[in-house]
Structure 1
Amino acid sequence: MSLSPTDPKTKTKADAKLETTADTRVISIAHSPDSDDAFMFYGLATNKVRVPGYKFHHTLKDIETLNHRAIEDPFFDVSAISFGAYPYMQSEYALMACGGSVGDGYGPIIVSQKPFTPDEVRKVRIAVPGELTTAYLALKLFAPEVETTNVQFQEIIPAVLAGHFDAGLLIHEGQLTYAANGLKKVLDLGNWWREQTGLPLPLGGNAIRRSLGEEAMNITTHAVRDSIQHALDHREEALSYAMQFAGDIEPSLANRFVGMYVNERTLNYGEDGREAIRLLYEMGYDRGVIAQKTKVDFIG
């Protein structure tokens, strides 16, 4: 799904002139259609936030598709990614210092129909939303021995309800809707991570292509931060925009979910947020979940 950053019906003469100027640099941005991503990119996608000499083109794909694309074919200049995937794209991309989804004492949730204890769930088969997701990385740090199967994230709840899996690992809005489907929470991995490390759990971020060059990387990162700030300053309008991509989720739940993952930490990770990112990679590598060491470079 592609999303133009401007509405042709409201395009001004100045916009048209900018688009035809030879000096205009087009930046391709890819992110998920989930309500938190759509919310934070509202300013840029609707042309509320502009940068002279730059035009931003948005493509919407699910996060696991974006993870694989950034690793296998680093086409997009900016891509939303899972932190669990970043080690495998670090030669092509750096991390933006903004745009992160951070669970501060909360995060991906293991759910089941049966009242498993955290120790019992280590021994069952769990449906996971992809081995490049940070949720999977956190799960394997919690239980390295656990058996997993990849399932599209939106299919995990139905698969657990149908008895195809003993438990499921939920990301996105499923973290808020599982109880309404009759499932029980076994463990919140964001809370588990907080108990283990005293730190928030960084889940998703924005990666920016190194080949853009230092100037364009910094300008683009500041534009994304301005878009996030614009959404926070115009919450009602940004949430209304994000709802068109949110599927059947209730507006109140979408608002709650956005509040969980688009906030002050999205503007800036903070020192503890940056420490958490580095620790996540150190632990992942030391325990054999991540295949290579990760050097973290923050832009902006």
Structure 2
Amino acid sequence: MSQERALRIAYSPCPNDTFVFHAWAHGLVPGAPPIDVTFADIDITNGMAERGEFDVLKVSYAVLPYVLDEYALLPCGGALGRGCGPLVLTRDEGTRKGADLSGRTVAVPSERSTAYLLFRLWAAAEVPGGVGEIVVLPFHEIMPAVRDGRVDAGLVIHEARFTYQDYGLHKLADMGEHWERTTSLPIPLGAIIAKRSLGEERLRELAAAARTSVHMAWDEPEASRGYVMEHAQEMDPKVADQHIGLYVNEFTSALGEEGYAAVRGLLTRAAAEGLVPPLGPHALEL
């Protein structure tokens, strides 16, 4: 009997992803199909999705309008939440208003990221005349660029929420706070998608495997610690724990009605601003 082909999956080395997928990646989820893991930052996985390269991917919700013909959104395993949005950072403590960014250079981690959509929606409301040049940098290079004066401000994600003060930087605005205040919805960040060509039955199996992997991680958090820290890029264990606590929550287990409303809300607003193509009425369905 031939061995089942491992599905090719790509997700980031960030603690929330390694925590969520530890059990599945190590063959601990009963009945789950085997997976062959590639680690890549979210901007890379977004490009992989647009090229249709992998079976399963962790991507930005912002890329969904470009890939949903080929991929289906799984209802679990991703990252949504409250109080977990991207931040705009500056070097000058006196910078306190969006208007201070008018015409300024801002570094962002990707123009196809959820963070960028949230930033553009915030800037449309808070920055008269709009920001100036947008510079795309890998997220780990953004805070040094702001600190060294190479850009006027930076849009940061991930563990930067917990470490930006180490760079002597100051928070200008929280994109998540703006989103929650204006919509009362959780913040959609990262999605798990799988190829529609796998078939509806297999897609449901993948969703069940992701959900079980999440719950196994919650039940035995120490089991994944070695895997998490191995890929956490020299992150302090306390920061890794904060990262997991913030980004792995009830929406990781199941998007639910509120989670789907948040995703539709983000992409509908972004489409209205001309930032992404409009979604079809059934585009988010499995």
Above 0.5 in TM-score?
Answer: yes
Aligned to 2:54: 76
Work out whether residues 27 and 34 of structure 2, in 8 Å CA contact, stay in contact via their aligned partners in 1.
Answer: no
Aligned-pair distance for 1:290?
Answer: 1.2
Change in 2 beyond 3 A, CA 1:279/1:196: same
1:248-268 deviation per Cα after TM superposition (whole angstroms, max 9, x unaligned): 221011101101001221001
Maintained 8 Å contact 1:39/1:231: yes
Partners of 2:195 and 2:217 lie apart in 1 by 24
Identity %: 36
Please state whether the residue corresponding to 2:117 is helix, strand or coil.
Answer: helix
Counterpart of 1:236 (choices 222, 225, 247) is: 222
In the TM superposition, residue 291 of structure 1 has moved relative to its aligned partner by 3.1
1:199 match: secondary structure: coil
Matched with 1:288 is 274
CA shift digits 1:51-105 (9 cap, x unpaired): 26x321111111101101110x212111000001111111111100001211313
1:271 and 2:250 correspond: no
Match of residue 159 from structure 1: 145
1:64–1:133 Cα contact (<8 Å) kept: yes
The equivalent position to 1:133 in structure 2, one of 108, 113, 119, is 113
Partners of 1:120 and 1:236 lie apart in 2 by 46
- Aligned equivalents of 1:210 and 1:69: distance in 2? 15
1:107: Cα distance to partner? 0.8
The 5 A counterparts of 1:167-206 are: 167-206=153-192
Match of 2:17 among 37, 42, 67: 37
CA shift digits 1:96-152 (9 cap, x unpaired): 000121131331010111132232344121100000110001001111422311011
Cα RMSD over matched residues? 1.5
**AA aligned opposite 2:205:** I
Task: Give 1:273 deviation, angstroms.
Answer: 1.5
Once the two structures are superposed, the pairs formed by residues 3-42 of structure 1 within 5 Å of their partners are: 21-22=1-2, 24-42=4-22
The TM-score normalised by the length of structure 1 is 0.88
Equivalence for 1:245: 231
What is the number of residues matched between the two proteins? 277
Q: Contact 2:188 / 2:263 at 8 angstroms: preserved in 1?
A: yes
Code of the residue aligned with 2:215 in structure 1: it is Q
Partner letter of residue 193 of structure 1? W
Residue pair 1:232, 1:263 contacting (<8 A) in 2 also: no
Distance 1:42 1:298, change over 3 A: farther
Identify the match of residue 146 of structure 1 among 124, 127, 131.
131
Q: What secondary structure is seen at the aligned counterpart in 1 of 2:62?
A: coil
Residues 101 and 205, structure 1, Cα contact 8 Å, conserved in 2:
yes
> Quick check: 2:59–2:193 contact (8 Å CA) kept in 1?
yes
- Mapped contact 2:84–2:247 kept (Cα < 8 A): no
Unaligned runs of 5+ in 2: 125-129
Separation in 1, partners of 2:87, 2:149? 18
What amino acid maps onto 2:165 in structure 1?
A
1:141–1:289: 8 Å Cα contact kept in structure 2? no
Q: Distance in 2 between matches of 1:289 and 1:99?
A: 26
* One-letter amino acid of the counterpart of residue 7, structure 2: I
AA aligned opposite 1:133: S
Answer yes or no: is the 8 Å Cα contact 1:83–1:134 preserved in 2. yes
Q: Is the 8 A contact 1:140 1:146 kept in 2?
A: no
Amino acid at match of 1:68: G
CA contact (8 A) 1:98 1:268 kept: yes
The 2-side partners of 1:233 and 1:226 are apart by 10
Q: How many Å separate the matches in 1 of 2:153 and 2:98? A: 13
Q: 1:58 aligns with which of 37, 43, 61?
A: 37
Q: Equivalent of 2:243, from 239, 257, 263?
A: 257
Q: 1:191-222 CA deviation, whole Å, 9 max, x = no partner? A: 11000101111100101110101111111111
